[in-house]
Structure 1
Amino acid sequence: MPTSASYTKSDNDNKVRVFDKVYDVPTEQGNYHAKLTTEWQDKPLEDDFDGNSLTALIKVVNEYYSHYLKIVQTENGYCLKIKNETTKGIIEFANILFYGVPGCGKSHKVEEEYESKITTEKNKIRVVFHPGYTYSDFVGQVMPVLEKVTKSDGTEEEKLQYKFVPGPFTRILEVAYANHQEKCLLIIEELNRGNAPAIFGEIFQLLDRNDDGSSKYAIYNSDIANEVHKDKLCPIKLPPNLTIVATMNTSDQNVFTMDTAFQRRWQMKHIPNRFTGESLDEKTINHVAKYLPNSEISWGVFAQTINKKMHTANLGFGGTEDKSLGVYFATDNDLDDAERFAEKVLKYLWDDAFKLGRKELFNDCSQGLSAVIEAYEDAKGDPLKKVLVPEVYNEMQKKMAEMAAEQAKTAEEKTSEEEAAESAAEDNPAQKPAGEE
């Protein structure tokens, strides 16, 4: 589409000539075609889509071409121009998949970086995939519904009708098209706990995006098209303002695996399982330092020691990283209650992570899990010492001692620096201004 040409103004019809030719503007809806004529009204008229009002032009540009075109007012009227700035990079990645061990903070990352930035509730939808979740649940399905119908005599009655009931994907797509200037978000938790390729079906083709965030390829689905565009023949694409964010546990117990063709359409982002480091926020630092119930061992030391043991012990399976304890595997409430901690953390270690090597971790495996939990809850003194093998517990104690020594050293160095600064200030008192007694 060309930029604006020379302008000529006619006083008798109060119009401004923008182009020397007539340009057809195609739309994504098959039942409507707008036309950009050579003349536009200086003052917007009623929007009757007759192809002559400025209001009609604004609506067409905003609805379909806002990423490429803009309407500029000049001293002679209005002109249509191509935006100089490129649209590449406006949406860095439109399909993002966060993955990591259970409890490493994937959902927190989604909430912090995406969900919290969309304040309009209708502009975001969250779903959770599971083994029983289907394409019909995700997209929608024809279902019987009761609707009021008008009879021949003018009265109304409720009758059973079969209608397409949209699922979360269709609903957020409809919202995104209706609010094309606003960011919209679809969050999918536990992407690989359901059969993701089957749940997406032909929709996975839409995940290929152009630089501006719109789908590179279209699909045809009459139910979605009728719900979103009110036209069963309209092709379906993801609009640039719709972002899809998903989470996935890297556990070898996943119900389904995802093929390469499906995964390549996502920008994969690994969430590291960090217990230490300058990048930790205050909340995480406090959580890691929290002591286990009735114990002298902190959660961070416990989890890191267990994870190290998990990786070095021969437990009879590969991929032990996937079974690691995430930094938020246990919540603050879990760490405040011995029963909750035992039922959640010790049970997981017994039933899952150390299932094929329980003697590597637990002091007495002869009586089963219930005996371990009871021993932990009823222990006098530190309960970890009662249930863990001495090697592991001693390693935790050693780590706690090292951390305490490091903290003491840091505090001593800080004190020395402060004392040195005070001494320097005393040796070099500030000089009084000249002439002051």
Structure 2
Amino acid sequence: MNQSEQKDQLIKKIREIDHPEASLLFFRLLKDVLDVTNLADSDPRLAIVVLKNAVGISVNINVYLALRLTKTRNEGVCLWFAFPKDYFQDGKHPLTKSKDSQSRLNGPQADYVWLPLPFEQADLDRYDPDAKQQWENCLLEFVEKARRSPHIKKHNSAAYKAAIDEAYRGEIIALAAPGWHENQVNEGTKPYATLDTNGGQHQDSVPPKRPDIPLNYLLYGPPGTGKTYYVQQLRREFPDAHFVTFHPSYSYEEFMEGIRPDLVGGQLSYRVKKGIFQEACEEALRKAGYASFGSCLDEGPARRAERFAAAPGHLLVIDEINRANLSAVLGEIITLLEPDKRLGAGNELWLTLPYSRNRFGVPANLYVVGTLNTADRSIALLDTALRRRFAFREMPPDPELLADIAIEGIDLRALLRTMNKRIEALYDRDHTLGHAYFLGLKTYEDLCEAFRGKIIPLLREYFYDDWEKIRLVLGDNERQGKDYDEQLVRRMVLNERELFGEEVLIQPDAYTYEINPALAGGAFDQLPKEAFIRIYRK
């Protein structure tokens, strides 16, 4: 059978299955099979078979079934996966709830079990990543079991090409289901506001749920000012949000996609793995009713814009965004992030990814929220391109949140306000203290512990152990008038003759410093309340 005949055979079978979205998911999973196993189209261990006597397509590696798409009268459209049998030993896994699954698990003893999953549950990336990993482990084992598939003569190269070439896949689906993009959206991925045939919204449609923030939003401020709390509130509204924390060694390959080593059963392989940003974008696509970037980009711009406008939002949170090398991590994504360059926008752009060679764009319903700690890095040092694409919201310390909190006569609002004014005068506003350091305090012991374990160490970091500046912030300088036992940081004259036996230091006045022993030693009941009150009151 030549390639043209194989193509016709494949189109005819997809027509019989009559479920374009299931077919697209099958090809995406087939691409995963090929990425995991590194099997070429001509490899004798691989056979993609368009079934003659059944409505389905099978992927065989050696003598093993790796993946299958079927449609039957009883089960409807299903995708079959192979799993290690011991993965379901307790019998409580969600995939084994059906009677059919239980009968398969209790059948003849074997190393593997093959389970059919309904289309709605078959996207393992979305519904069960752990099961996806187990399936991929089986694929690697299948490759090593033998050297040739008994079905090699039935191999359909058109199906292989449809898995690795998005444009060709789009052509196959378009020929098998003409007009599908225009009118059909699967119920499982339907956006909240569906479109009628004239392009308008149905009268009974529900407005899409979206956060009331810009598409690209960056919260910045000193530590303890509520940035993470704000993000947590957003995540409660959007519990399926993706979350990542940047760090200095974070890379493009982790964020977008990269070739990563995978060791299973002693076999080392390399495959392209999606990063969290690509996963978040795919989830945003699904909320707009698309199964893949290919199906999205094959649709007309006007229809694409309508779908994204009617889709609910999806949230990606990047904590500590400034700790990574942003230019290296974001790469070409920085251009696609711009609101008018997103898929569904007026000047939409997309590109071909460097490793997978798939087409990619940033959906118009993806909201990217970052948090930036100004004590680590000022926003003035951020890449200009990034600053232009993000809306910024400063989150400064808010002493008013402490207005109703007083601990044994100590006014926490006045305490924080005074200390921050001094820090801003001695350093800058990016290194002030956040109100969160004081919000959870209930007792005098809590306050002392906060100063001992958090605030004084932070001030030491800010001022590089310049104790005189720390004393100024804490009101321990002479002009403030604290008694010696009230000072949180004490200055003591260094007696050179007693220490060295002679005068050896050049400085006319040599000092050493210590944290009040009552505070440092945890004897908080011996530390006068005036040690804190006289920070803000003479």
Q: TM-score, normalised by structure 1?
A: 0.59
Relative to structure 1, is the Cα distance of residues 376 and 322 closer, same or farther in structure 2, using a 3 angstrom cutoff? farther
User: What is the CA-CA distance between 1:95 and the residue it aligns to?
Assistant: 0.6
Pick aligned residue for 2:422 from 298, 309, 322: 309
Aligned pairs for 1:66-145 (under 5 A) are 70-72=195-197, 80-81=198-199, 93-112=214-233, 114-119=234-239, 121=240, 124-145=241-262
Deviations 1:89-118 (A, max 9, x none): 998621111112211111111222x21111
Aligned to 1:77: none
Relative to structure 1, is the Cα distance of residues 65 and 184 closer, same or farther in structure 2, using a 3 angstrom cutoff? closer
Measure, in 2, the Cα distance between the counterparts of 1:290 and 1:90: 36
Q: Number of aligned pairs?
A: 308
Aligned to 1:345: 455
Aligned to 1:22: none
Aligned to 1:201: 331
Farther-moved stretch of structure 1 (171-180 vs 186-195): 171-180
Relative to structure 1, is the Cα distance of residues 214 and 95 closer, same or farther in structure 2, using a 3 angstrom cutoff? farther
Does the aligned pair in 2 maintain the 1:191–1:247 contact within 8 Å? Answer: yes
Query: Is 2:513 aligned against 1:394?
Result: no
Relative to structure 1, is the Cα distance of residues 174 and 397 closer, same or farther in structure 2, using a 3 angstrom cutoff? same
Q: Give the SS at the match of 2:177.
A: coil
Deviations 1:379-408 (A, max 9, x none): 55554534x7xxxx436347xxxxxxxxxx
The amino acid across from 2:530 in the alignment is K
The amino acid across from 1:30 in the alignment is A
Measure, in 2, the Cα distance between the counterparts of 1:351 and 1:365: 19
Does the aligned pair in 1 maintain the 2:343–2:349 contact within 8 Å? Answer: no
The amino acid across from 1:163 in the alignment is R
Relative to structure 1, is the Cα distance of residues 199 and 310 closer, same or farther in structure 2, using a 3 angstrom cutoff? same
Q: Give the SS at the match of 1:71.
A: coil
The amino acid across from 2:350 in the alignment is A
Does the aligned pair in 1 maintain the 2:190–2:287 contact within 8 Å? Answer: no
Deviations 1:13-47 (A, max 9, x none): xxxxxxxxxxxxxxx95235589xxxxxxxxxxx9
Relative to structure 1, is the Cα distance of residues 219 and 257 closer, same or farther in structure 2, using a 3 angstrom cutoff? farther
Relative to structure 1, is the Cα distance of residues 168 and 201 closer, same or farther in structure 2, using a 3 angstrom cutoff? same
Q: Give the SS at the match of 1:304.
A: helix
Aligned to 2:313: 183
Aligned pairs for 1:236-385 (under 5 A) are 236-251=360-375, 253=377, 257-276=381-400, 289-291=405-407, 296-312=409-425, 315=426, 317=427, 320-330=428-438, 332=440, 336-337=445-446, 338-353=448-463, 355-356=465-466, 357-360=469-472, 361=474, 362=476, 363=487, 364-366=490-492, 367-371=512-516, 374=519, 377-378=522-523, 382-383=527-528, 385=530
Does the aligned pair in 2 maintain the 1:342–1:376 contact within 8 Å? Answer: no
Measure, in 1, the Cα distance between the counterparts of 2:260 and 2:169: 30
The amino acid across from 1:196 in the alignment is L
Aligned to 1:171: 279
Deviations 1:288-315 (A, max 9, x none): x142xxx531332221121122234xx3
Deviations 1:324-348 (A, max 9, x none): 1111134525965333441111222
Relative to structure 1, is the Cα distance of residues 222 and 301 closer, same or farther in structure 2, using a 3 angstrom cutoff? same
The amino acid across from 1:258 in the alignment is L
Matched-pair identity in %? 23
Does the aligned pair in 2 maintain the 1:34–1:51 contact within 8 Å? Answer: no
Q: TM-score, normalised by structure 2?
A: 0.49
The amino acid across from 1:81 in the alignment is G
User: What is the CA-CA distance between 1:138 and the residue it aligns to?
Assistant: 1.6
Relative to structure 1, is the Cα distance of residues 324 and 56 closer, same or farther in structure 2, using a 3 angstrom cutoff? closer
Measure, in 2, the Cα distance between the counterparts of 1:218 and 1:241: 15
Does the aligned pair in 2 maintain the 1:190–1:249 contact within 8 Å? Answer: yes
Does the aligned pair in 1 maintain the 2:519–2:527 contact within 8 Å? Answer: no
User: What is the CA-CA distance between 1:209 and the residue it aligns to?
Assistant: 1.3
Relative to structure 1, is the Cα distance of residues 255 and 248 closer, same or farther in structure 2, using a 3 angstrom cutoff? closer
Backbone CA RMSD of aligned residues: 4.2
Which structure's residues are more often helix, by fraction? 2
Aligned to 1:31: 168
Relative to structure 1, is the Cα distance of residues 351 and 378 closer, same or farther in structure 2, using a 3 angstrom cutoff? farther
Does the aligned pair in 2 maintain the 1:219–1:237 contact within 8 Å? Answer: yes
Relative to structure 1, is the Cα distance of residues 71 and 255 closer, same or farther in structure 2, using a 3 angstrom cutoff? closer
